[in-house]
Amino acid sequence: MSISAIEAIESSPAAAPESAALLDVTGISVAYGQSQVIRRLSLSAQQGEIVAILGLNGMGKTTLMKALIGLLPVRQGNIVLGGKELSQREPYERVMEGLAYVPQGRMVFPKLTVEENIITGLRSAGEQPPEALYRYFPVLWDMRKRRGGNLSGGQQQQLVIARALASHPRVLLLDEPTEGIQPSIIKQLAEVLRTIRDEQGLTIVVSEQVLSFALAIADRVLVIDRGHFIHESAGKDIDERAVARLLSI
Ligand SMILES: Nc1ncnc2c1ncn2[C@@H]1O[C@H](COP(=O)(O)OP(=O)(O)O)[C@@H](O)[C@H]1O
Ligand SMILES: [Mg+2]
């Protein structure tokens, strides 16, 4: 190939595409009646990126998560996944497009078995959950005939994540997954989520109060304060002490 041909390739825009974010949220506002909790907030995540949203109680993490999955309406703004605008779509339609949501407080179906809980996460009858699910969460295989309500907190958290993964999502939304879970399990959870990301290219947006978990899992951290992001840093530049200071009361 001639040098001019190489130059032509290098300078052509198609040769070096700046990849668009998989999840692109711009300027969303969310309110409960007159009380506006999220005001013109923007957030994006690349495919395979893990983004942690850190914030104290009452700062708007759950409100944001519910708005992203469609359990709360947005007053304005856009929620775009893979180029598709979802902000006016029903939650089930967002799931069909590749969003999955693990609510704060876990909410397993207590009377259903582990296996049945996972099946409720499928997008349609006859579909199979990802084969790797029980490899990621071996304790769920051991417990598959047990009722969800009889599992420990850490096991229930694994179960609701597995249930969310059963829909083959592109973006997993996790709302405070470490709440009420033992430190040893928290560490395992961070490891398995990173493995799933590495193997499946999954994008994860996780809200947290536990800084150590966020640092163990995230490629990028954002700090939310009364519905606004007041800090953002990524990779080697994550300033642990600055973030810790913002999270101290
Ligand atoms: N159903 C609701 N009705 C009215 N206000 C609410 C409701 N849920 C949450 N809020 C308020 O919205 C703010 C953010 O809450 P939330 O999103 O739950 O925060 P976080 O998840 O960060 O703890 C808080 O001030 C909270 O009191
Ligand atoms: Mg919350």
Q: What is the pLDDT of residue 2?
A: 54
Indicate whether 17 pLDDT > 60: no
List the residue whose alpha carbon is closest to atom 16 of ligand 1: 60
List the residue whose alpha carbon is closest to atom 3 of ligand 1: 32
Tokens representing residue 20 in the block: 């668009």
Residue 224 CA: which ligand 1 atom is closest? 22
9 in Cβ contact with 3 (< 8 Å): no
Q: What is the edge-to-edge ordering of all strands in the sheet holding 76-81? A: 35-45, 23-32, 76-81, 84-85
Any ligand 1 atom below 6 A from CB of 62: yes
Angle at 190 between CA 67 and CA 208, to 5 degrees: 40
- Mean pLDDT (whole number) for 60-69: 98
For residue 130, how far is its CA from the centre of ligand 1 (angstroms)? 34
Determine the residue of 28, 35, 68, 71 to mutate for testing ligand 1's pocket, defined as the one with the most ligand atoms within 8 A of the Cβ atom. 35
164 in Cβ contact with 93 (< 8 Å): no
* DSSP class of 113: B
Indicate whether 69 pLDDT > 70: yes
Q: What is the pLDDT of residue 4?
A: 54
Q: What is the pLDDT of residue 145?
A: 97
For residue 198, how far is its CA from the centre of ligand 2 (angstroms)? 27
Phi, psi values for residue 178, rounded to 5° = -90, -5
Q: Are strands 76-81 and 84-85 parallel, antiparallel or unpaired?
A: antiparallel
For residue 175, how far is its CA from the centre of ligand 2 (angstroms)? 7
What's the predicted TM-score (pTM) here?
0.91
Domains of the chain: 48-59+89-247 (3.40.50.300)
Give the total residue count for the chain: 249
- Mean pLDDT (whole number) for 170-187: 94
